Structure 1
C-alpha cells in the first residue's frame, strides 16, 4: 500500500480562527543572498550598499534590504498558507523590527485572524498575521495579509465569517527605530541626493522615470531565493491549463522592483519601517516592463529626533506604460489594467542638520 508523505498544502476548509502555524525551514541570511538581491533588482540605497556608510549611522554592519527580509519571511508561510491560493490580495499593519545582517537566522509563525467564504462556494479568503524573528527571538518583521484560497470540496459548509479590524496605517508612535541610530554623519552627497525630509510635501507626486523589464529567469530565481513554493510562479505545465495560460510573477517581485526604481527621487528614504497597506491590482508576466511613481501621503516627525523624520508613501507600479499622467482607476472605480501595484508604506529619512 502506497502512503502519501507529500504536503498538499492547506485548503480553505483547513483553516480555523486562532489557529497558529509554525512554518518550516528556518533561513540563515548570507552575504550571497544580499548580493543576489542586489543583482536581481539593482537597489542603490546607500545604507544597504556600503558597510562604512551604514556603520557611520549606528548600524552594526551593512543591513540586509528590508524587503529581502520581508520576502524570506513571506516565503516561509507559502507552503502552509498559500500553496493552494488563487491570489494574494493585500497587506496591512506591517512593521519592521531589528535590522537583519548576514549570519542572522529568520523563522516565521502565523496566526489565522479572519475567514470568509466567497459567494461562488469554491474559494475563500484567509487572513493571517505573520511574525518573523531572528535567532535571539527579536522581531524582524510582522504583517497581516489576506489571500484567496481554493476549497478542496465546494460542498463543504462555510465557516462563520470573521473579518479582522485592521488599521489603515501604522501610527508614527508604533514605528520601531534601529537602536543607536544617529544621523549627524549622514552624507547626502554619498547617498545620491541633497533632498531631506523637509523638502517633501504631502500630495507631491514623483515620477521615478526609469523602467525595468522582467525576464522569466529573473523572477523564478528571485522566488526560489525566498523559497516560495507557490505553484503559480513555477509550474508552467499546470499554469498552461489555468486562467492565464502562463506563470504569474510573484507580487513581491513587483514591490522590490518598484522600491528599487523609487531611488530616483527618494534617494534618502534609507529604511522601510512600516507596510500600511498594499494591493496587487493586476497580474504581471515575464516580458512586462515596470515603471513606478510615488505620492507623498503624509509627513511625520519622530518624537525627540530633530535629525529624523518619517514619510508615508504610496508607490504605484504600472506595466508597459510610463507613469506620467497615467490614470490610476477608470470611471468604474476599478484599477486601470496597466496598474499592477498600489503599495502604501512608511520610510525613514534624515532631516537637514542646523
Structure 2
C-alpha cells in the first residue's frame, strides 16, 4: 500500500527558516471580556484603567482596553506553531511597541518576518530572529516586536544558506511611544480608586521599588494561561516529552512570568496604567510550578511625550525572582552573572498621569 503524505504540522526546525521569509499565522482570535476576566484570574492584575469601564470612560477611553500584556501574549501565541514549536528556549525581546488600543470584540492576527539566523556551535540548534506584527480586524497595527528563539535542528548535518544577526536598538525612542493612549482627561482620573497617589513627577531615575508581594505558580494555572493565548509549545504542556528532557518537567511560559511581574508591580507603580514599549527582555532562568515569584523595579529614565501634557513616560527595569523576596533587590553578582534567584530582566517604557 502506498504511504500517504502526513497532514499534521510538526513545526519548523532551524534549517527550515530563510532570512526575509514572511509567515501569516493561524488562527485569528476575537478577544472578549471573558478573556480579560480569565487573565485577571490567572495573573491578579489590578490596574484600574483595564479593570473598569467606568474608570476608563472618565479619562476618555470608550471603555476599558484589554491589558497590554494580554494583547502581547495573544499576538505572540499565534507565532508559536510556526516559529517556536521546536524551540529549546525563547531568549529575548526588543523593540516592542504598543501601537493601537485593543478592546473586547477586536480580532487579532499576526504576521512574522524572519530577520536573522545564526547556527550554534554545537551544530544541534540555531537562533532565529523574527519581527512579528499584530493587526486588528481593520488592518491597524496593534503592536510589533522582535524576539529571538533557540530552535532545534531536524538534521544536525543540515546547513542554512545565509546567516545574519540583526542590529537591534537598546531602547525604543520616547518619540515613538504614546500613540496607543487617547488624550486623557486627567481631571477624571481618580487616584484614590486607582490605588496609588503617585504621579509621573513623583519618581526619579535610580529609584528602586520592592513590590513586596509574592505569587506562587500552580501547575494547572500556568498551563491554562498559556492555552488562553493558544500557545502550543510542547515545553509548557507535554510532560511525556519534557519528562525525557534536560529539566524532566514542563517549563512555565516566560510570558506568564512577565505578566506576573507586571501584576506584582502594581504595588509601587499603581498608576503606570499602560505599557508603551518593551525595550528589551531576557528570561534569565527557567521557572517551574510550585515556585513563588517576587519582583522589584528600578526607574531608569523619565521622558516627556511630545504633544502631551497629560502623561509622561517612565523607563523601568523590572526584575522577577523565584523563591526570594526582593527586599535587597537581587540582580547581578560581582562577577557580572545574574543572581541565581533572578528569572526575568525586563526593560519597559510605561505611561503615567502627570
Q: What's the TM-score once normalised by structure 2's chain length?
A: 0.97
- 1:249 corresponds in structure 2 to 252
**Aligned counterparts of 1:221 and 1:99: Cα–Cα separation in 2:** 25
- 1:308 corresponds in structure 2 to 311
1:1-354 matched pairs, under 5 angstroms: 1-177=3-179, 178-351=181-354
Q: Contact 2:97–2:143 (CA<8 Å) still a contact in 1?
A: yes
- Deviation at 1:182? 3.2
**Aligned counterparts of 1:306 and 1:158: Cα–Cα separation in 2:** 51
- Deviation at 1:55? 1.0
**Aligned counterparts of 1:122 and 1:193: Cα–Cα separation in 2:** 50
- Deviation at 1:47? 0.1
Secondary structure in structure 2 of the residue aligned to 1:299: strand
- Deviation at 1:330? 2.5
**Aligned counterparts of 2:340 and 2:29: Cα–Cα separation in 1:** 36
Q: What is the RMSD of the two structures over their aligned residues, measured on CA atoms?
A: 1.0
**Alignment gaps of 5+ in structure 2:** none
Q: Contact 1:193–1:268 (CA<8 Å) still a contact in 2?
A: yes
**Aligned counterparts of 2:74 and 2:210: Cα–Cα separation in 1:** 29
- Deviation at 1:160? 3.1
After superposition, the C-alpha distances for 1:145-172 in whole angstroms (9 at most, x for unaligned) are 0000001111112443211111011001
**Aligned counterparts of 1:111 and 1:182: Cα–Cα separation in 2:** 38
**Aligned counterparts of 2:225 and 2:6: Cα–Cα separation in 1:** 30
Q: Contact 2:196–2:271 (CA<8 Å) still a contact in 1?
A: yes
After superposition, the C-alpha distances for 1:84-116 in whole angstroms (9 at most, x for unaligned) are 000000000000011111110000000000110
Secondary structure in structure 2 of the residue aligned to 1:327: coil
- Deviation at 1:326? 4.2
Q: Contact 2:178–2:305 (CA<8 Å) still a contact in 1?
A: no
- Out of 306-315 and 288-297, give the one that drifted further: 306-315
**Alignment gaps of 5+ in structure 1:** none
**Aligned counterparts of 2:182 and 2:46: Cα–Cα separation in 1:** 23
Q: Contact 2:258–2:344 (CA<8 Å) still a contact in 1?
A: yes
Secondary structure in structure 1 of the residue aligned to 2:71: helix
Q: Contact 1:127–1:145 (CA<8 Å) still a contact in 2?
A: yes
- Deviation at 1:56? 1.3
**Aligned counterparts of 2:329 and 2:314: Cα–Cα separation in 1:** 23
- Deviation at 1:304? 2.9
